[in-house]
Amino acid sequence: MTANFASQNSKTENQQCAGKAVAWADFVARDKADGHATIRRLFPLERMNEAIANISGWAEEALAAMSEEKRRWYLDGGVADATVLRKLDNPHMNRPFFTALAKDSGLVGHVEALIGVGVSVYFSQIFFKPPHGGGPKPAHQDNFYFGPSDPEGVVTAWIALDDADEENGCLRYARATQLGPVLPHAAPESRPFDLQIDEAEVARIEMRAAPVPKGGVSFHHGGTVHRSGDNRSNRWRRACAFHYVRNDVVFATPALPYDRSLVLQVT
C-alpha cells in the first residue's frame, strides 16, 4: 500500500493508542494493501543531509581500507568512470548516527505498529546507487535471506536519503506477494551473496514503482517481492534500510550465515 502520510499516520497513532499492532493482513483487508506502505515525510531534510555527510565519510574510509576481494562485492560495477561503492553493511552497528536513527521513536512507532511491540535491528544496509549507472538490485524476498521463525515478525524500513523515483532506481514491489510462499532464490556464480528470484518467474509478476521523497520511509513485509532498477539519472539515490525483527522471533533458517552479535535491541 502506498498510503499518504496523513491517513497512514492517523491509523498508526490510533493503533498505538489501542496498544495493538496492525497486522499486515489487516492492511490488505482494509486498504487493499500490497505488502508495503510509504510514509512520505518522516524525517526532516536536514537530518537526511547529515546522514549523507556521515555515509560519505564512511565510504571514503571504507574504500581506503577495502581488500580486492571485498571490492568485487561492494563496488558498483555499473559506473564506468569512477570508483564508487554500491553498498555498505550494518550502519546500525558501525555508525553512531545510524544507531540513533534506528532508535528514532517516530520510526520505531511505525515499525511496532506493523510487527508488534518490542523490536530489534538484525541487519542494515546503506545503498548508494550512484548517478550514471548505479546498478539494479534483482528481485528477492527478504524472508528468503533471513528465514525468520515467524514470517510476520520482520519488516524493512527503507529510508530515502535522496528523492527516489523511477529514473534513479526507486524500489518496485509486487502486490500482495507477502500472502504467498517464499519463492526459490539462487545466486549467480560470480556473486554468491546476490540471492534472487529467477527472471522468468519475475517476468510473470507485475512490479510497481514506489517513489519516496527524501526523508520519507517505505516499509515492506519480509515476504514482499521487490527489486530496484538502475540509476539512469544524474542524481544519487541513497537509502538506508533497517531490517527490524520482533523480539520473540529469530532467524531460524537464514540462507547466509548470520552473526548474532549484530543484533541491536531497540525496544
Catalog residues that contact ligand AKG under the rule CB under 6 A. Answer: 127, 137, 142, 156, 158, 226, 228, 239, 241
Nearest Cα to Cα of residue 160 among 90, 119, 219, 120: 219
Least distance from ligand AKG to the Cβ atom of residue 166, Å:
13
Nearest Cα to Cα of residue 149 among 230, 261, 241, 251: 251
β-bridge partners, 259: none
Residue with cell 542524481: 235
Is the Cβ of residue 15 or residue 148 nearer to ligand AKG in the bound state?
Answer: 148
Residue at 78: amino acid letter: G
Is the Cβ of residue 239 or residue 266 nearer to ligand AKG in the bound state?
Answer: 239
Is the Cβ of residue 16 or residue 62 nearer to ligand AKG in the bound state?
Answer: 62
Q: In a 3-state reduction of DSSP, which class is residue 243?
A: strand
Radius of gyration of the chain (CA): 17
Count of CB atoms within 10 A of residue 79's CB?
20
DSSP 8-state assignment for residue 133: T
Least distance from ligand AKG to the Cβ atom of residue 142, Å:
5
Least distance from ligand AKG to the Cβ atom of residue 140, Å:
7
Q: How far is the C-alpha of 71 from the C-alpha of 190, rounded, in Å?
A: 13
Is the Cβ of residue 15 or residue 119 nearer to ligand AKG in the bound state?
Answer: 119
Is the Cβ of residue 12 or residue 196 nearer to ligand AKG in the bound state?
Answer: 196
Residue at 267: amino acid letter: T
Q: In a 3-state reduction of DSSP, which class is residue 156?
A: strand
Is the Cβ of residue 14 or residue 77 nearer to ligand AKG in the bound state?
Answer: 77
Nearest Cα to Cα of residue 50 among 9, 91, 93, 6: 91
CA neighbours closer than 13 Å in the CB half-sphere of residue 205 = 25
Least distance from ligand AKG to the Cβ atom of residue 56, Å:
17
Least distance from ligand AKG to the Cβ atom of residue 120, Å:
17
β-bridge partners, 159: 217, 240
Least distance from ligand AKG to the Cβ atom of residue 148, Å:
14
Least distance from ligand AKG to the Cβ atom of residue 127, Å:
4
Is the Cβ of residue 116 or residue 138 nearer to ligand AKG in the bound state?
Answer: 138
